């Protein structure tokens, strides 16, 4: 039996190779893998000794040779394949152990030059993995060190089963597919043209929720693999306490973290079912939390909290009075950890300040029956210098400040989103309604008397003046919205009649 080993990830390689050799395998290897095995005292043959050709073109050509690919692809159950092997002096390879160059890690460094990135595109590795995986009825292909023990157990028991070889072949094709998807993504970076005719979404399994949205649904969490700076997210967080996160916890935690992204002052957001039911800015985190909770204390129960500053003991003590599923922050003081440690089921997630997005917005990919919808994610920062006052009355400084904050929050509220804000704190939210009037009514009901003197943000334009009339009835003093309706003139006239200031942003943040 012969095993060819050619890996970039050398975790557990030497012990695995040693046990293969003890089980009777002849070892063949390339480059750095060969040097590591030889240095460990193993009896290993260089690929050049099998092919009769040295590595060439700066290592670009090592394994691309019939002595390797014929040995991997040959079906020894077919007489004419056996005849070909004999004619050309090729001995079959029974196991391939391989994984690929770290292309994603290389291009995650913005200082990586294009020629250096191109050199990290693996050619021989994917070719061998595909060959071995295609011929998995005879060849065992291993691309993840985590499978070493299972493979060794199978060999000791008499050989890998058909089921195991097929499972490993699927992993090999997935490994190559994800790798190629990142390469294609890298080569597309900077292009402003249409979306490609074909594309793949690459991911790496990082967590296993107990189930999906409902107990009858299986679920998994995958980190998205892309070229350039990784898109930071909740899966990068370090869990400090509590039980495992559920599928819904991850969705809500993602919404919470995204809501406070980009806010410079101490901020707290409280999320329930992906909707910000409370959010506030203050100079002190405990004050921001108190106002965020006051935004909708009923909905906050069982929600998820995100903060953009380290949580101190005082803030932790305030938070501990309410039941929350998850609390997210860049860090937690020792005092805070001691306070939260008394809540056995509370999940604490430590997630440092977000890195910048890569040059272009990441793709937002959503499934539909039989297909996918793809768009650029709505992550481009707003530019308040481009906003225009559309009404006779101009918002005062306090209203401008609140309008800016309300516009930040409303982009995280679902379809027909409406947000009421007073003194940089959310006091009412309406979302997910089939018409905007319903959302305004819900936000007004939640805000109650706090709506008086508040400002309002709308994620999309007002189709009719009745939206402004509803805002006036709630005693709103200023509104921020995209503008662009056929009836903008009527909307502006209604605002002027009510003494309400309207700011047009020119940008819609509708979130379906």
Instruction: Write out the catalytic residue numbers.
Output: 134, 273
| Strands of 311-403, DSSP E | 324-329, 347-350, 363-368, 371-376, 388-389
Residue 118, C-beta contacts closer than 8 angstroms, at least 6 positions apart: none
Contact 433, 439 (CB under 8 A): yes
Rounded Cα distance between 16 and 207, Å, is 26
Contact 97, 7 (CB under 8 A): yes
| Strands of 208-302, DSSP E | 221-225, 238-241, 267-272, 275-281
Nearest to 171 by CA among 204, 200, 138: 204
DSSP three-state, residue 219 = coil
Dmax over Cα atoms in the chain, in whole Å? 94
Residue 33 CA, distance from chain mean position: 32
Could you give the residue ranges of the DSSP H alpha helices within 25-147? 31-39, 47-51, 66-73, 79-88, 103-107, 114-119, 124-134
| Strands of 237-370, DSSP E | 238-241, 267-272, 275-281, 303-307, 324-329, 347-350, 363-368
Rounded Cα distance between 252 and 258, Å, is 10
**CA-CA-CA-CA dihedral for 183, 99, 138, 149, to nearest 10:** -140
For the chain, count helices (H), then strands (E): 19, 21
Run of H or E including 26: strand 26-29
């Amino acid at each position: 039996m012969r095993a060819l080993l050619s890996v970039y990830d050398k975790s557990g390689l030497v012990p695995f190779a040693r046990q293969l050799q003890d089980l009777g395998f002849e070892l063949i290897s390339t480059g750095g893998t060969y040097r590591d095995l030889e240095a460990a005292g193993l009896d290993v043959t260089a690929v050049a000794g099998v092919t009769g050709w040295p590595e060439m073109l700066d290592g670009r050509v090592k394994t691309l040779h019939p002595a390797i690919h014929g040995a991997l692809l040959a079906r020894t159950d077919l007489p004419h394949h056996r005849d070909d092997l004999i004619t050309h002096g090729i001995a079959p390879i029974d196991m391939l152990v391989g994984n690929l160059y770290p292309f994603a890690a290389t291009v995650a460094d913005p200082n990586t030059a294009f020629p250096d990135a191109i050199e990290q595109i693996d050619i021989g590795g994917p070719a061998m993995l595909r060959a071995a995986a295609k011929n998995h009825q005879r060849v065992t292909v291993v691309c993840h060190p985590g499978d070493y023990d299972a493979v060794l157990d199978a060999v000791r028991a008499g050989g890998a089963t058909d089921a195991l070889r097929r499972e490993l072949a699927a992993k090999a094709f997935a490994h190559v597919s994800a790798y190629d998807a990142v390469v294609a993504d890298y080569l597309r970076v900077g292009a402003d043209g249409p979306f490609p005719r074909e594309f793949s979404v690459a991911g790496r399994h990082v967590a296993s929720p107990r189930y999906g949205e409902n107990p009858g649904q299986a679920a998994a969490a995958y980190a998205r693999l892309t070229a350039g700076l990784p898109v930071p997210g909740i899966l990068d967080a370090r869990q400090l306490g509590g039980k495992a996160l559920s599928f819904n916890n991850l969705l809500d935690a993602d919404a919470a973290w995204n809501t406070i992204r980009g806010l410079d002052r101490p901020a707290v957001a409280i999320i329930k079912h992906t909707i910000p039911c409370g959010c506030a800015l203050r100079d002190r985190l405990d004050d921001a939390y108190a106002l965020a909770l006051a935004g909708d204390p009923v909905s906050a129960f069982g929600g998820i909290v995100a903060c953009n500053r380290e949580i101190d003991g005082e803030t932790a003590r305030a938070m501990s009075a309410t039941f929350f599923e998850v609390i997210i922050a860049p860090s937690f003081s020792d005092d805070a950890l001691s306070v939260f440690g008394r809540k056995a089921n509370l999940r604490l997630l430590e997630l440092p300040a977000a890195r910048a997005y890569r040059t272009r917005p990441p793709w937002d990919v959503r499934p539909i029956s039989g297909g996918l919808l793809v768009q650029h994610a709505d992550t481009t920062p707003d530019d308040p210098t481009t906003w225009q006052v559309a009404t006779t009355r101009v918002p005062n400084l306090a209203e401008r400040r609140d309008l800016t904050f309300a516009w930040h929050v409303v982009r995280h509220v679902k379809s027909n989103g409406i947000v009421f804000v007073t003194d940089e704190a959310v006091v009412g939210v309406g979302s997910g309604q089939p018409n905007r009037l319903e959302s305004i009514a819900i936000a007004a009901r939640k805000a109650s008397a706090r709506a008086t003197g508040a400002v309002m943000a709308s994620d999309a334009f007002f189709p009719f003046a009745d939206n402004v009339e509803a805002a006036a009835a709630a005693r709103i003093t200023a509104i921020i919205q995209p503008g662009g309706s056929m009836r903008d003139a009527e909307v502006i006239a209604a605002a002027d009649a009510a003494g309400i200031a309207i700011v047009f942003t020119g940008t819609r943040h509708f979130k379906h």
